[in-house]
Amino acid sequence: MNQIGAETILHAVHGGQALLGLVGAPQASMDGRITETHPRSGCASAPRSETRNRTLRIGDAPATPPFPTPGENVAQIGAENLLHAAILDWFTSLDQTARADPFVFEQGLAEYAASPRSRPFLKIQDGCGNACTYCAVTIARGPSVSLDKTAVLERLRSLEDAGFSEAVLTGVNICRYPDLAGLIVYLLENTDRIRLRLSSLEPDAVDDRLLQAVSLPRVRPHFHLSVQSGSDAVLARMGRRYGAVAVERAFAGLRAVKDDPFLAGDIITGFPGETEADFAATYTLCEKAAFAWIHAFPFSPRPGTAAAKMRPPVPQREAVARAERLRLLAQAGHAAYEKRWEGRTREAVIERYESGDETVSVVTENYLKRTLPREQICDKRPGAAIQIVV
C-alpha cells in the first residue's frame, strides 16, 4: 500500500470515534497495525491499559507473522478502493456509541502535538447519500453531514496558530459539503498562512466555482479524483453521476488553474459486466489524463450493496490483471511527472526525522517525496514549510 493509501486510512478514521496512529510501515508491507486510543483517554500517549491494538490487513498478500488471525481485534479487507468504507464499517461494528459526534476535535491540538503527524487532517464532512452501487458508506454511515464552516475555520485557525503549514480537508466525500468552493474561499480569506490540501474529489464536482477556489495560491496543486472507470456503461452500473467526458473536463480544468498539478485517480477494475472494451476505455482515459498516480484495485463486493449481486462477475484473475496494467501505467506516469519537476523549486512540508534524526522526509506541495540531510532544514520541526529544489 502506498502513502496515499495509508493516508486514506488515516483520514477515514481520524475524527471518528478514536484517535488512531499507524504503527509500523503499512505502506511497505501491505499490512498495518493500528493502535487505537479510546476517546475517553484522549491521545496516543495515554496509559497502556486504555489502548487496544487492532490489526488491519489490506490487500491480497498472505498474512505474515506477527499478525494474528482475523478475530475480534483484526480486520482483513480486500484490495479495493473502498478502504474507508471497510474500515469505518469495522470500527462501527466494534463500537457503535462512538459515532455520536463524527467531528470530534476537542483535543485535536493536543493530539497533533503528541503525534508525529505533520499535515493534520481536518474532517469537514461525514457520510454520503450518493449510494453508488458498490459502496457501503450510505448503508454504514448514512447521508452526508457537514461541519459548520465557522467550526471548520476555528479548527483551522488553531492548527495555523500551532505552527502547521498545511491542513488536509477530509471527509467520506468532501464534495458533499454544501458549498465546498465557498468553504475554501472562506477559510483562505480568514486565515493568514496555512495551506489547504484536498482529499478525493468527485469528477462531476469539479465545476467552474470549485476550479476558481482551488486556483487560489494557498490550495495545494495535488488532486485525487474518484474516477472509477472510463466506460460510461460501467459508470452507470456503478451508480456514478458522471461519464468519461466529465472526468476529462475535470482533469483539464485542474491543469488549467494550477501549474502541472499532481493528479491521481482511483479506478476499480473488473466491476461486474466490465468487458475488455470497457476496460480499454478506462485505460485510454487514464492515458489521456496522464495521471501522476493511479490507485487501481480489482472489484471486491461489499456485502449488502447492489453491485454484490450484479452479473456477470469478472473473473478475479482478469480483474487483477487489469489493475496490474493500470499500475504499470501509473508507474510510468509517476516517473514522467517526477522528471518534469526535477530541478524546480517548490514548497515542501517537513514530515518526520529519520535515520537517527540524520535525515528528514519532506513532501512537496505537489506531492513529491524527498529525503534531505538534517542540516538542510535548519532544525525546523515537522509541519513547518521550507523551499526545496525538487
Q: Is 22 in the site for ligand SF4 (CB under 6 A)?
A: no
Q: Is 304 in the site for ligand SF4 (CB under 6 A)?
A: no
Nearest to 109 by CA among 364, 383, 347: 383
Q: Is 234 in the site for ligand SF4 (CB under 6 A)?
A: no
Q: Is 140 in the site for ligand SF4 (CB under 6 A)?
A: no
Nearer to ligand SF4, 125 or 364 (CB): 125
Residue 366 in grid coordinates: 505537489
Within 71-130, the residues that bind ligand SF4 by CB under 6 A are 128, 130
> Judged by CB under 6 A, which stretch of 47-55, 132-140, 184-192, 263-271 contacts ligand SF4?
132-140
What single letter denotes the amino acid at residue 33?
R
Q: How far is the CB of 37 from ligand SF4 (least distance, A)?
A: 26
Q: Is 138 in the site for ligand SF4 (CB under 6 A)?
A: yes
Nearer to ligand SF4, 55 or 133 (CB): 133
Alpha helices in 190-264 (DSSP H): 208-214, 232-238, 244-257
Nearer to ligand SF4, 180 or 385 (CB): 180
Q: Is 199 in the site for ligand SF4 (CB under 6 A)?
A: no
Contacts 24+ apart (CB under 8 A), 35-44: 39/98, 39/104, 42/107, 42/110, 42/111, 43/19, 43/107, 43/110, 43/111, 43/114, 43/115, 44/19, 44/111, 44/114, 44/115
Q: How far is the CB of 78 from ligand SF4 (least distance, A)?
A: 15
Stretch 146-175: interaction string toward ligand SF4, x if CB under 6 A: --------------------------xx--
Q: For cell 500517549, what's the residue?
A: 45
| DSSP string of 47-85, one letter each residue | -GGGEEEEEEEESSSPP-TTSPPSSTTEEEE-S-S-HHH
Of these, 23, 113, 131, 245, which contacts ligand SF4 (CB under 6 A)? 131
Number of C-beta neighbours around residue 304 at 10 A: 11
Alpha-carbon distance of 332 to 60, in angstroms, equals 23
> Judged by CB under 6 A, which stretch of 134-142, 260-268, 324-332, 353-361 contacts ligand SF4?
134-142
Could you list the residues that contact ligand SF4 (CB under 6 A)?
A: 128, 130-132, 135, 137-138, 172-173
